[in-house]
Amino acid sequence: MTIRIPQSAIRILLALWRLNVAEELQYRANLVASLLGTVFWIVTALLTLAVFFRHTTRLGDWDYWEVVVLLGVFNTLTGVIEAVLRPGIGRLAGEVKNGGLDLVLAKPVDAQGFVSFRRLDVWRFTDVVLGLTLAGYAMYRLGRAPSPAQLAAFGVTLAAAVVVVYALWVALMSLAFWFVSVENLSVLFDAVYEGARYPVSAYPGALRFVFVYLIPIAWTTTIPASALTGRLVPGYALVAAAVAGIAFALTRLLWRTALKRYSGASG
Amino acid sequence: MIRPGDWLRRYGALLRAAWLQDLQYRASIVLWLLWGVTEPAVALGIWWAIAADGPVQGYARADFARYFFALMLVNQLTIAWDSWYLDSWIREGELNFRLARPIHPAHEAVAENIAYKARTAGMILVVWLIVAAVWPAVRLPFGAGRWALTAAAVLLAAAMRFLISFATGLLAFWTTRATAIMELHAGIALFLSGRLAPLALLPPAVARVAGFLWFPYMLAFPVDLLTGAVHGAAVVQGFAGQVVWLAVWVGAYRLAWTRGLRKYGAVGG
């Protein structure tokens, strides 16, 4: 398995994104809509927590503001998903079905890279900003200033989380090569990811095992939030990085295998 | 004048078409179903953890399990995607040929709802029965009268949620953000219709506000009927609320339909 990133790939991506941004700038009202949507989501999530915390003081041994830090991480990742993954690789299932993938494969670029990063919904990056702001505010309310080691661990685990989320998308969307008629595969991600809104320690043991080892969403929100609040020994960030590396390698392999099944559908 | 027999024939044809269309997309439908049950499943997981040290305001772990299983079923039986359909029908001109047919487009939507719900709720029932076989917490006592009342309440709730979704979708005649309004409605309904928690566990003031609106009648009331959490006068009150709010939404739908059609300039060919 080799991953070559030729300079031309970067040039192509930059050109695609430039066009993309120019196009999106025409629809500036979408910025307001996107912001309102995110604020509404955050308010809903905070009210949800408020309902739970009326009846308890801790959730899976996390207190209120610690869970809010986790919500901030969740929202940050939502921003990455909505800005990059859903508009890019999220469209794969439809293209496998109607043969649109032919046009991608005919291009002299790495198909997985092109499919994954071809489009940006730039306005949704506001979710990243708001998510990090929320996490920061929750840290302030906790009265904890993270040490440089904790901040570094947070950076590493958050980057690992992005890779794990990406790997999950590739794995799910690769199913399209086997189940051609299923166009709404991305719904499967939404269903699974719903579980990442709360610390995994809140769930029963069996589910916790699934979320850590099988569908690794524990690594997407619980671990970065733990790193920031100091629940995680900073050194464990390296484990997260290793998990991300393994997840990425496995999905790259899966993509290769899946692609062999594709025989084209347009024409 | 169309006779009742004709309506039976028409609905027979519409249902058959909808059922066969869904059959084509059965894998997609399973995914939507999965998406629909994760929210209550996650909520149940959290309440399960909270109730570890004892009942929460009278709700023990088993009560939460029964509540959220009933919620999954009732939600699937009453959910309506029609605003998304109408939004695309209106914006992309697919409403045109539907208007040209000698039957109101709402009937096609109703038939689609019946076919979709029969299939998905059937799946949930089967899963529920299997789970109940090994997990006594989610078993419901059998009572013919109560189940008949629940069926009636579910029917009223389904009719109301259909009209809410249809009427809101019709806002696409005026705005491009009709589905966003529906999502806003779903966000409020998360709390006020009992999707997140039994209404008794919300702050009393919020629960009181919910009582003045239609939200509890679209979900919480039929769910409580099914699990046996409401009795006596509250049952009568619940049905009265359902009927009143159904009437209100019928009115809203008719207003939006007649005004909207006058405003509609067809798009597409």
Average pLDDT over residues B96-106: 88
- How far apart CA B27 and CA A214 sit, in angstroms, is 22
List the alpha helices (DSSP H) in B25-143. Answer: 26-50, 61-78, 82-91, 95-100, 105-134
- In eight-state DSSP terms, residue A145 is P
Which residues, listed in sequence order, are joined to residue B67 by a DSSP beta bridge?
none
- The helix or strand, by DSSP H or E, that contains position A90, with its residue range, turns out to be none
Q: In this predicted model, what pLDDT tens digit does every residue of A21-73 receive, in sequence order?
A: 888 888 878 788 888 888 999 999 999 999 999 999 999 899 999 999 999 99
Å from A10 to nearest chain B CA? 36
Helix (H, G, I), strand (E, B) or coil at A144: coil
Q: Which residue of A has its CA nearest to B26?
A: A182
Q: In this predicted model, what pLDDT tens digit does every residue of B153-179 receive, in sequence order?
A: 999 999 999 999 999 999 999 988 888
Instruction: Give the model's confidence band at A3: pLDDT under 50 very low, under 70 low, under 90 confident, else very high.
Output: low
Chain A contacts to B (CB-CB under 8 A): 33, 37, 40-41, 44, 47-48, 51-52, 54-56, 59-60, 179, 181-185, 187-188, 190-192, 194-195, 197-198, 202-204, 207
Å from B131 to nearest chain A CA? 16
Question: At residue B266, does pLDDT exceed 70?
Answer: no
pLDDT score recorded for residue A5: 65
ipTM of this predicted structure: 0.88
Least confident interval from A17-31, A137-151, B219-233: A17-31
- In eight-state DSSP terms, residue B102 is S
Cα distances from B210 to residues A128, A254, B43, B204, B229, in angstroms, run: 33, 49, 20, 10, 18
Tokens for B70, please give them: 């009933």
User: Contact at 8 Å (CB) between B209 and B118?
Assistant: no
Q: Look at A204 and B190 and tell me if their CB atoms are within 8 Å.
A: no
Q: Which residue of A has its CA nearest to B53?
A: A56
- How far apart CA B157 and CA B238 sit, in angstroms, is 11
- How far apart CA A135 and CA B187 sit, in angstroms, is 22
Q: Enumerate residues 6+ apart whose C-beta is below 8 A from B5.
A: none
User: Contact at 8 Å (CB) between A168 and A215?
Assistant: yes
pLDDT score recorded for residue A20: 86
List the alpha helices (DSSP H) in A81-221. Answer: 92-98, 101-105, 111-117, 126-142, 148-174, 186-193, 205-209
Q: Return mean pLDDT, chain A.
A: 89
Q: Look at A182 and B203 and tell me if their CB atoms are within 8 Å.
A: no
Which long-range contacts (C-beta less than 8 Å, at least 24 apart) are formed by B58-63? Answer: B58/B200, B59/B198, B59/B200, B59/B201, B61/B137, B62/B137, B62/B138, B63/B227
Å from B50 to nearest chain A CA? 6
Average pLDDT over residues B89-99: 88
User: Contact at 8 Å (CB) between B172 and B261?
Assistant: no
Task: Name the region of A198 (left: φ>0; alpha: ψ -120 to 50; beta: rest).
Answer: beta
Taking alpha carbons only, the member of A76, A65, A79, A59 closest to residue A229 is: A65
Average pLDDT over residues B13-40: 88
Q: Helices then strands (H, E): number in chain B?
A: 12, 0
Question: At residue B41, does pLDDT exceed 60?
Answer: yes
CA A233: distance to chain centroid?
23
Q: Which residues of A touch B31 (CB under 8 A)?
A: 182, 184-185, 187-188, 191
Q: In this predicted model, what pLDDT tens digit does every residue of A147-204 receive, in sequence order?
A: 999 999 999 999 999 999 999 999 999 988 888 777 788 888 888 898 899 999 999 8
pLDDT score recorded for residue A265: 64
- How far apart CA A186 and CA A190 sit, in angstroms, is 7
pLDDT score recorded for residue B269: 47
